[in-house]
Amino acid sequence: MTNVLELRGITKRFPGVLANDKIDITLREGKILALLGENGAGKSTLMNILYGLYKPDEGKIIVRGKEVEIQGPNDAIAQGIGMVHQHFMLVPVMTVTENVMLGIEPVKNGVILDKEKVAKRIREISDEYGLEVDPTAYIKDLPVGIQQRVEIIKVLYRQADILILDEPTAVLTPQEVEGLFKIIDTLIKAGKSIIFITHKLKEVLAVADDITVLRLGTVVGSIDPKEATSEILATMMVGRDVNLVVQKQPAKPGEPVLVVEDLFVRDERQHLTVQGVSFDVRKGEVLGVAGVQGNGQTELVYALTGLLPLEAGTIRLLGEPIHHTTPRNILERGVAHIPEDRQRHGLILSFPIHDNMMLCTYYKPPFARGISLQEKAIFSNAEALVKQYDVRTPSIYVNAGNLSGGNQQKVIVAREFSRPIELLIASQPTRGLDVGSIEYIHKQIIKKRDEGSGVLLVSSELDEILALSDRIAVMYKGQIMDIVDADKTSKEHLGLLMAGVHPSEASIKN
Amino acid sequence: MSNTTTPAPETGKKEKKSSSIWQELLVPVLAVVTGLILGAIVIVMSGENPFRAYGALFAGSFGSPVDFFEGIRIYFTTGETAALIKAIYPFTESLVTATPYIFAGLSVAIGFRCGLFNIGAEGQFFIGALSSAFVGYSIKGLPMIIHLPLAISAGILGGALWGMIPGYLKARFGAHEVVNTIMMNWIAFRLSDWLLNGPMKASGFRPVTPNVEASAELPRFFSDPLRFNLGFFLALLAAYLVYWFLFKTTLGFEIRSVGANPDAAKYAGMNIIRNFVLVMFISGGLAGMAGASQVLGVDHWVGQGFSAGYGFDAIALALLGKSHPAGVVLAALLFGFLRSGATDMQSMARIPVDIISIVQGMIIVFIAAPDIIRWFYRIRTAKKEETVLTRGWGS
Amino acid sequence: MTNDNIQINSAAEKRKRISYGIALLLVGFVIYLLFGLNTQAGSLTTFGLNLTSSQAIKVPDLIVPALPAIYMMAAISVFAGAYQLARGVRSTGWLISILAFTFVVAFLMWAAQDKSFNLTGMLSSSLVRATPIALAALCGVISERSAVINIGIEGIMLMSAQAAVISATLTHNLYVGLIVAIIVGGLVAAFHAYLVIRFKVDQIVSGVAINIVGTGTTSFISSRFMQSAGDTLNNSGTFPIISIPILSKIPVLGPVFFENNLIVYLTIILIVVVHILLFYTPWGLRTRAVGEHPKAADTLGVNVYFMRYVNVILGGMIAGVGGAYFTIGSVGRFDEIMTAGKGFIGLAAMIFGKWNPIGAYTSSLIFGFADSLQVKLQILRVPIPSEFLLMAPYIVTMIILTGVVGRAIPPAADGQPYEK
């Protein structure tokens, strides 16, 4: 058994951060190495170094026993290294063929692109590895699962035999994950070697031949999957015992806070992405909205908070219709919103913390008198919230952009929770955060529920949905497949619903 | 992905150290110096002596200290003011030139703060000047206390409405304000051609408006030929008001939020459309006020090409002043001295005034790319600055 | 990915349908009120189809009774409006076309009643006037397809125009002038590219700086050197008309398309060549990828920065040809600020043409038409001040930018610097 790839003593510094500190990893030929670590552990940095997107400050890369220098993606490709990125590197307005051929375009008549030749090769690869895809389809029309296949085809087209899969399951349904695992199996049988990057423990145990765990830029250790359990891996990954379950009392739901009926919403590109959604959220309960990303959850939340206009339907908050009102009005009626994209919607990164802490209430006393801003009140409000919500910052005058992701999210939570709220809408509230921050945010959400607010939790992490929700709605292609009680369902059942299987069938299959 | 114009202090922070103010000033000052050096190279290439040229420029903008003290001596010994007036003429004339620059620079700066790029200050300036002139000459017999404010308001309103059109088109249709404000400039030029040859033409051969009534003139502080007038102090007042408005009021907070991150502003319940329209209204109003100050304070009539160059100068001013009112005032004073002196340079050293445009263009480049200046002068303290003003076509 | 099959008769769509219908009805009435009532019954409008200087086979002039034609246009517009209100047509392009066509035809009938109006002459001058706009638009297309906005086209064209006339006058060779213009255009664009790629200067700011420097430099050189030495520096002559054998004999089409000077032909060739390059070659595929998703291109080994440099510089060279048009392609002399906003109008043509070379050329022709119409109307002494007619291209630009006439989506990464 030979090692096809070895990284020795890789170190990478970014201004103020040691992203990788003397990392050693080894990939055996024809095997799957799982690289496990939290967000920010340095996995992606390491892989970007391997793929030539970053230059390491120290260390060497050994491919098939020979030390190589990788200056850019072209060198990596030449060494037979291929990467499937977490965020797909596909041009949406181009066809599958065009995406695959980009960078090594065959031509006919000297200059004209030879698309037929590439399409033919794509069909061959499809047949060989069971990666069915239409070469003439446009990427923007393909579901995420198929887009991932295109990414894999891109790598195989370049004849890679070392494949890096960066968080490949993040955007897939449980069933699609099964499909991916089958593809990985075929690839291994064809002699490829794979580095599988993830932070999901169960997947690691399911597929890996070797496991290497990273934490804070260093290798914590390697372990044989036969000896590993979820608990051992979690402790290695986080550095302390992790409480994988959220402590909470059973919900005491009251009257409905939010009632949504027959909602239709168009997204910014005018696609009808929410198609006839109806549900309610009651006081003192968490309604989780599960679903693979891109099935209309984002637009649903935008419509509820007034960021997108409705096409049809009604939204009622405490009995009052709010579907034709402004975002300001919705805020004032007691809706708090933890937005999906915290840097886009939630914060003004170039503004100091104290301004971000009053972003939604700047026009009201005590922050304003008439049109005049009251700096004293603004500063003392920020000081108090920073203390109460444990935001780690040198001062309230620091720009929000200089905070870590977890602390940025705390600023948003602090601001949103600092005003009286009836309904909390939390969209992907823990995405990209470290375990400590995740636990903290989860506790805060449950606390709001126990104080009697209704909570609408949108997340593509099924574990998060299951841990926090009292009821779960599953969205697929803009519609709600079913709403189930959290304690009467299973991950598998939810997975089938997320894949668009009708509820009646989903129950039978289970 | 932030959209802030400058890293300028967002609020009046008390712990601001003086050293950091020097840090702020370092790049702009070096940018101006480098721009002037490049200008000197152009002068050399065109076959003139740059020292002679810049000497004439300096004398034309500040005057000579020797003449000044001589003037004072003569005044105290003989009571004769002619020599003193002659001595302070260049300096006051520079302040007179700086006056519309302050307004115009503020106009573009407030746009930048909201993420809007107003290239149309020139057209708004022209429309403002024409509106002021019209009220100034057509209404007769009013006392100054009514007529002057009326003429000024007309100028502000004219510019504001002219600026509001692209603001509305941007807000309503996402039409890019850069192209639209330029189109509005050309429309303003054609409109003024028509007005000056037709409805607003004074009797006589030249296509100019009649002189405004004395009651609509901005009062001057000295006798002729000194044209130094109240406009300069109005400009300083405007700068203070813009500062207060931007940094101390809720409306200013909204404007800066929309400029820094429109998505977050929308999330926070701010009305983006209203802010775009409001800011273009204010921005146009300030540019209109620049035109009004020039016609009511200096020329008293409007002719063709009256606004030439003010729009682009205003952009340079706003960038140089980092979109902060205080910075804009400093930059406007600098440009006032440059422009005013350049006229003398043209007559004495035969260097066309257009040299100043070249210098200004280079200053804009250096301000927008501070890395060039840092690299050129080997400044080590690479502070992260963001100058992302625009994002594509915004549609 | 999304399922749009469910038909929601949206309020917005309904409003759009009704407003277009009403607009067409209104145009019909306006045609009747403005032109119909002000046209003498029995007056004839003569459309000249021959150019005196042309080699084309002569054909008889087109003589149309003005009033019936105006009424017909009004009727078409009203009918189309009524149909739109009742049924609704999906293609807004068609509606706009009908609207513009009926209005323009009726306007011409009225303006030229009892007079002779040379239609071929106007179409020919439309094509010529569209040339600098098309070249500016093509410069925009090629550079924005790689995600670099170039708003400094105006400045580039001014500098090239001046460089062209000076070098052509000095060497007595127009081709030298053209090549110098292309080189100057490429160099200035390279400077823009260097600023926005190497130093990540805001693309709009850099473009504005180029415009300021361009205006300043050309005015400086003009007043310092050229005004006093007009004959030795500023008198180049222009490219001669080249008649294409046989084709130029075709009536109407011949004089319009096949009797032009080098730059007009060059423009048409460039449009076609760039179109093929952009959509059928590796260079085009890479350019578009870099403009849409630079990171994706980068991970496949495409050098994003290199592609952007190449495209911006190529664009600048094309704008250089556009600059040359102003001097050695039309008047043989440089005047200060002679481009008069054509660079910006070119950008509007690019947007209206959906970042597509052929689309950009088509919309440039619309601008060229508006421009030459304005000149013809002055000759016809239409009782509208010429200054207002001169505003037409600028107003058309603003209307187009509202996107009411079909919204275009720019390349996804347009205007954004690429950070590795």
Beta bridge partners of A260: A279, A315
Q: How far apart are CA C347 and CA B393, in angstroms?
A: 11
**Which three-class secondary structure state does DSSP give residue A114?**
coil
Q: How far apart are CA A247 and CA A442, in angstroms?
A: 10
Query: How much is the pLDDT for C5?
Result: 40
Percentage with pLDDT > 90 across chain C:
45
Query: How much is the pLDDT for B296?
Result: 96
A253 cis-preceded (ω within 30 degrees of 0): no
Closest-CA residue to A43 (of A35, A51, A55): A35
Residue A461 lies in a domain: yes
Subunits with 3+ Cβ pairs within 8 Å of B are A, C
Grade residue B383 by pLDDT with cuts at 50, 70 and 90.
very low
Domain carrying residue A455: 256-334+420-509
Fold for domain C128-401? ABC transporter involved in vitamin B12 uptake, BtuC (1.10.3470)
| Residue B374: pLDDT over 70 | yes
Q: How far apart are CA C411 and CA C351, in angstroms?
A: 11
Residue A41 lies in a domain: yes
pLDDT in tens, A318-331: 999 998 889 999 99
pLDDT in tens, C71-124: 999 999 999 888 888 877 666 777 778 888 888 888 888 888 888 888 888 899
pLDDT in tens, A206-228: 899 999 999 888 999 999 988 88
The tokens for A376 are 């004293």
Grade residue C380 by pLDDT with cuts at 50, 70 and 90.
confident
Grade residue B203 by pLDDT with cuts at 50, 70 and 90.
confident
| Residue B12: pLDDT over 60 | no
Query: How much is the pLDDT for C405?
Result: 61
pLDDT in tens, C157-207: 999 999 999 999 999 999 999 999 999 999 999 999 999 999 888 888 899
Pairing of strands A423-427, A335-338: parallel
Q: Is the complex ipTM more than 0.95?
A: no
Long-range contacts of A377-385 (CB under 8 A, 24+ apart): A378/A354, A379/A354, A381/A354, A381/A357, A381/A418, A382/A353, A382/A354, A382/A357, A382/A358, A385/A357, A385/A414, A385/A415, A385/A418
| Residue A300: pLDDT over 60 | yes
Interface test with A, best of B267, B271, B274, B388 (most A CBs within 10 A): B267
pLDDT in tens, C199-237: 888 888 899 889 989 998 999 999 888 888 877 888 888
Q: Which of B61-65, B329-333, C410-414 has the highest mean pLDDT?
A: B329-333
| Residue A385: pLDDT over 70 | yes
Grade residue A1 by pLDDT with cuts at 50, 70 and 90.
low
Subunits with 3+ Cβ pairs within 8 Å of C are A, B
What average pLDDT does this structure show over C368-395? 83
Q: Do the chains contact at B390 and C199, CB–CB below 8 Å? A: no
Answer yes or no: do A146 and A32 share one domain: yes
| Residue B176: pLDDT over 90 | no
Mean pLDDT estimate for chain B: 86
Provide CB contacts within 8 A for C342, sequence distance 6+: C132, C133, C136, C154, C157, C322
Query: How much is the pLDDT for A372?
Result: 94
| Residue B202: pLDDT over 80 | yes
Provide CB contacts within 8 A for A418, sequence distance 6+: A357, A381, A385
Mean pLDDT estimate for chain C: 88
Give residue limits of the domains in chain C.
11-114, 128-401
Q: How far apart are CA C195 and CA C235, in angstroms?
A: 34
Closest alpha carbon within chain A to B12? A375
Closest-CA residue to B287 (of B307, B303, B305, B316): B307
C296 chain-A contacts, CB cut-off 8 A: 89-91, 99, 102
C304, C294 contact by CB (below 8 A): yes
Q: Do the chains contact at C289 and A102, CB–CB below 8 Å? A: yes
B42 chain-C contacts, CB cut-off 8 A: 220
Query: How much is the pLDDT for C223?
Result: 87
Percentage with pLDDT > 90 across chain B:
51
Q: Do the chains contact at B10 and A351, CB–CB below 8 Å? A: yes
Number of B–C residue contacts, CB under 8 Å: 155
A272 chain-C contacts, CB cut-off 8 A: 2-4, 6, 8
Q: Which of A35-49, A141-155, C386-400 has the highest mean pLDDT?
A: A141-155
Answer yes or no: do A183 and A315 share one domain: no
Query: How much is the pLDDT for A349?
Result: 92
Interface test with B, best of C204, C338, C339, C405 (most B CBs within 10 A): C204
Query: How much is the pLDDT for B368?
Result: 81
> b/e for C241-274, b at 16 or more Cβ within 10 A?
eebeeeebbeebebbbbbbbbbbbbbbeebbeeb
DSSP-assigned states of every residue in C37-50: TTS-TT-EEEEE--
Lowest mean pLDDT among A346-355, B231-240, C115-124, C256-265: C115-124
Beta bridge partners of B351: none
Q: Do the chains contact at C224 and B46, CB–CB below 8 Å? A: yes
Residue A384 lies in a domain: no
Write out the H or E segment, with its range, that includes residue A60: strand A58-63
pLDDT in tens, C269-326: 999 999 999 999 999 999 999 999 999 999 999 999 999 999 999 999 999 999 999 9
Lowest mean pLDDT among A293-302, B143-152, B280-289, C388-397: C388-397
Query: How much is the pLDDT for B348?
Result: 82
A462, A474 contact by CB (below 8 A): no
> Of A238, A270, A286, which residue sits at a domain end?
A238
Residue whose structure tokens are 């009467």: A488
Answer yes or no: do A199 and A321 share one domain: no
For the domain that residue A437 is a member of, what is the CATH number?
3.40.50.300
Distance from CA of A112 to the nearest CA of C (A): 5
Mean pLDDT estimate for chain A: 90
For the CA atoms of chain A, what is the radius of gyration?
A: 25
| Residue B395: pLDDT over 70 | no
C409 chain-B contacts, CB cut-off 8 A: 395
Residue A348 lies in a domain: no
**Which three-class secondary structure state does DSSP give residue C388?**
helix
Q: How far is CA B69 from CA A355, B74, B77, B96, in A?
A: 52, 9, 12, 22
Q: How far apart are CA C297 and CA C417, in angstroms?
A: 14
The tokens for B393 are 């076509």
Q: How far is CA A381 from CA A363, A370, A375, in A?
A: 14, 19, 10
Subunits with 3+ Cβ pairs within 8 Å of A are B, C
B250 chain-A contacts, CB cut-off 8 A: 362-363, 368, 371-373
Distance from CA of B8 to the nearest CA of A (A): 10
Q: Do the chains contact at C387 and B117, CB–CB below 8 Å? A: no
Number of neighbouring beta carbons within 10 Å of residue C198:
13
Interface test with B, best of C143, C159, C204, C212 (most B CBs within 10 A): C212
| Residue C406: pLDDT over 70 | no
Distance from CA of C221 to the nearest CA of B (A): 9
**B315 in contact with chain C, both atoms CB, cutoff 8 A:** yes
Residue A388 lies in a domain: no
pLDDT in tens, A234-280: 888 877 766 656 778 888 888 999 999 999 999 877 788 999 999 99
Number of neighbouring beta carbons within 10 Å of residue A369:
11
Grade residue C4 by pLDDT with cuts at 50, 70 and 90.
very low
**B251 in contact with chain A, both atoms CB, cutoff 8 A:** yes
B180, B164 contact by CB (below 8 A): no
A28 CA to centre of own chain: 29
Residues 368-407 of A with CB under 8 A from B: 368, 371-373, 375, 397, 401
Residue whose structure tokens are 């003037």: B71
**Smallest Cβ distance to B249: which of A307, A349, A373?**
A373
Q: Do the chains contact at A344 and B260, CB–CB below 8 Å? A: no
What average pLDDT does this structure show over A78-99? 93
Q: How far apart are CA C223 and CA B303, in angstroms?
A: 21
The residue type found at A116 is E
| Residue A443: pLDDT over 60 | yes
Split into its structural domains, chain A has a count of 2
The tokens for A63 are 């491919």
For the CA atoms of chain C, what is the radius of gyration?
A: 23
Q: Does domain B94-348 have CATH number 1.20.1250?
A: no
Q: How far is CA C315 from CA A318, C150, C185, C188, C190, in A?
A: 58, 9, 8, 10, 10
Grade residue B387 by pLDDT with cuts at 50, 70 and 90.
very low
Closest-CA residue to A119 (of A132, A134, A131): A134
What average pLDDT does this structure show over A8-26? 87
B172 chain-C contacts, CB cut-off 8 A: 402
A360 chain-B contacts, CB cut-off 8 A: 268-269
The residue type found at C308 is R
| Residue B390: pLDDT over 70 | no
Q: How far apart are CA C403 and CA C400, in angstroms?
A: 6
C307 chain-A contacts, CB cut-off 8 A: none
Distance from CA of B273 to the nearest CA of A (A): 13
Query: How much is the pLDDT for A241?
Result: 65
**Which three-class secondary structure state does DSSP give residue C259?**
strand
The residue type found at B217 is E
Percentage with pLDDT > 70 across chain A:
98
Lowest mean pLDDT among B291-300, C226-235, C325-334: C226-235
What average pLDDT does this structure show over C336-364? 89
pLDDT in tens, B98-112: 999 999 999 999 999
Q: Do the chains contact at B361 and C202, CB–CB below 8 Å? A: no
**A224 in contact with chain C, both atoms CB, cutoff 8 A:** no
Answer yes or no: do A230 and A290 share one domain: no
**A366 in contact with chain C, both atoms CB, cutoff 8 A:** no
Grade residue B225 by pLDDT with cuts at 50, 70 and 90.
confident
Grade residue A33 by pLDDT with cuts at 50, 70 and 90.
very high
Rounded to 10 degrees, what is the CA torsion of A487, A490, A495, A497? -60
A373 chain-B contacts, CB cut-off 8 A: 248-250, 253
**Smallest Cβ distance to C407: which of B360, B361, B395?**
B395
What average pLDDT does this structure show over B34-55? 89
